[in-house]
A and B are shown apart, each in its own frame.
Chain A
Amino acid sequence: MEYTRIEKGDGTGQVFNLADYDLTRATFSWAEAHKAIDGLPDRKLNIAHEAIDRHVAAGHGSQIALRWVAKSGARTDFTYQNLQDRTNRFANVLRSRGINRGDKVYSLLGRVPELYIAALGTLKAGAVFCPLFSAFGPEPIHSRMEIGGANAVITSSRLYKRKLKGLRDRLPELREVFLIDADEEGTTQLNSLMDAAPNTFVTEPMDPEDTALLHFTSGTTGKPKGVVHVHEAVVAHHTTGRFALDLRPGDVYWCTADPGWVTGTSYGIIAPLTNRVTMIVDEAEFDVNRWYDMLEREAVNVWYTAPTAIRMLMKAGKEAAQSREFKALRFMASVGEPLNPEAVVWGNETFGMPFHDNWWQTETGGIMIANYASMDVKPGSMGKPMPGIEAGIVELTEDGAKELTEPLAKGELALRPGWPSMMRGYLHEQARYEKCFSNGWYLSGDLAMRDSDGYFWFVGRGNDLIKSAGHLIGPFEVESALMEHDAVAEVGVIGVPDETAGEMVKAYVALKPGHTPSDDLMLDLMGHARKRLGPAVAPKEIVFRENLPKTRSGKIMRRLLKARELGLPEGDISTLESDEK
């Protein structure tokens, strides 16, 4: 069905960072955008300087930078001055333990203040920061630490004992394990070192092209890819935070994403701080009442969340929201997967403003296509390209990518590379990186179309990746873990539609001779997968088959499993050699 366009009026009496989309787009240049950051002498820069030090130097040290709400509900405030002090100490701790420029510092933590301090302190020291999601199990943690060559990790004793301790002899480059809360053999207690460390530090002046961040993303085949981002990316973080999220100095801003994923770093640490807002960080997981309390009590101005959470709020009903007053709320945005039009409209009816969907990827480092505060929203559309970003719909021909300019033509969503937060490579995987480009386009892997007004619409994914609760999951990683089980002969993993999470991971398993399907075996496989992969990646459903559909070369046809699951046409099955039973 068609949804009514949500009109924004002529903007009278309102001031937006991006007041006129067409005008800004026509006059924008990245060189000009660069002037909004301070940089360091001799054309050097450092993300952490833009996020913290320059604000303190400009006299904003007493403004709250981070308000942390613990699971218990207790709040702890960190001013920009506090954050400077702590990140300086952390950088000094790294130095004192022999962690230097270019070394890789990982975090494996829930949303606790130490995570934010470690991220920025690591950048100050010129080391590379790589956040891991704390709901990963040992296998995803191991592959990401091995590929990235982790030299140090900061974690809690609980996560260490459960997930990391058993991996240490398989991580030869890991020199230092910092624990935030206790002492364990072979680890370093962080707190006492922090207390003893000097609170001054000369932030490393970095080359714009020096690596700052490493984020992992899943592939359809093979191991996860380590996406490399550089210090120069801060120009895009800052600009997109201003334009797409309408962040203004002094705003109270809540990004609900975990820094274990790229959104929680680009827009949960960097962009808010460079724009000098007060960030709300909630340690707890989603909860309807808690979230509404947070929006109301903390007087949140700008809220950046995800479709799964929005759909859970919708399920709880409008009444839960309407008994409250969100007087401070000015702008709401969503990312992670396409936001269904019902949810955009629900936002408008419930909060008096729509959710503004936007689109980007780990590889793009920042928001690429967005709905802006000043621009009409077409519910279900991801919006229009950011100023400074050229997006197109392409088809892949024998001669490479060719742009389709006809309105509503479906093809692959592609971008012209060159913005500051574009990935600079997949770590140690040049060939995989080069495969992302054709005829001067970066190919996103998503299928989309553009309407005659220039709005982009998501159509589907061009690959087998699964998007569950906004998190990208590679089927190969799940299949590999299940294949390790003695009873398993072959596995196919797909995403099946789920009302709340978008997609849910489902595994089809064929057993080796001598094993028979049973409820006990299913639970055993489930436990096996969860132990290795953790709850964020492990399948939520496992079913048995006698045989899985395969090509002549023995490759399991996930596409066919999915078509059958959804009752869709099976498409071209000429390569099918051995069918599902």
Chain B
Amino acid sequence: MSDQDIASAVGEELYRIAPDIDLEDIVRDADLQEEFDIDSMDFLNLVTALGKRFQIDMPEADYDEMRSFDALVEYISDKTA
């Protein structure tokens, strides 16, 4: 799967959690929670949804590798490679 496909899938899952935020308006390498105005619970739900969608394990210990939109895409890209 290309990074672009992953990015659009992450965008879709984010839209289900924070439909008020447009992917176009955010800074992709900045703090994800701040950019999307999501709290820790939202983040947990996002990671759960992505783990399910990509059939990968996304443990808490790895959360600091998922702190921006770009980092999250890269993390999934590495895991699915």
Contacts and interface: CB of A to CB of B under 8 A. Distances in A.
Given A135-B37, A531-B20, A71 B31 contact: yes
A308 B43 CA distance: 14
Contact of B60 (A285, A312, A501): A312
A534 B37 contact: yes
Interface in A510-545: 523-524, 526-528, 530-531, 534-536, 540
Interface stretch (B11-19, B49-57, B70-78): B11-19
Categorize the interface residue count of chain B: 20 to 34
B40 interface: yes
A470 to B, nearest CB: 11
Interface string A534-562: 11100010000000000000000000000
Contacts of B45: 540
B19 A288 contact: no
A170 interface: no
B-side binding surface: helix, strand, loop or mixed?
A: helix
A315 B44 CA distance: 12
Contact of A500 (B31, B37, B44, B64): B44
A141 to B, nearest CB: 13
A287 B40 CA distance: 9
Contacts of A526: 19-20
Contacts of B34: 158
A71 to B, nearest CB: 7
The residue in B31, B33, B39, B45 that gathers the most chain A C-beta atoms within 10 A of its C-beta is B39
Nearest to B18: A530
B36 to A, nearest CB: 9
30 contacts: A158-B34, A162-B37, A285-B33, A285-B39, A285-B40, A286-B40, A287-B63, A288-B61, A289-B63, A289-B64, A312-B44, A315-B60, A316-B60, A320-B60, A320-B61, A469-B40, A469-B41, A500-B41, A500-B44, A501-B41, A523-B16, A524-B19, A526-B19, A527-B18, A530-B18, A530-B19, A534-B37, A540-B41, A540-B42, A540-B45
Interface of A: 71, 135, 158, 162, 285-290, 308, 312, 315-316, 320, 468-469, 498, 500-501, 504, 523-524, 526-528, 530-531, 534-536, 540
Given A285-B39, A469-B41, A540-B45, 11 more contacts: A285-B33, A285-B40, A288-B63, A312-B44, A315-B60, A469-B40, A523-B15, A526-B19, A527-B18, A530-B20, A535-B39
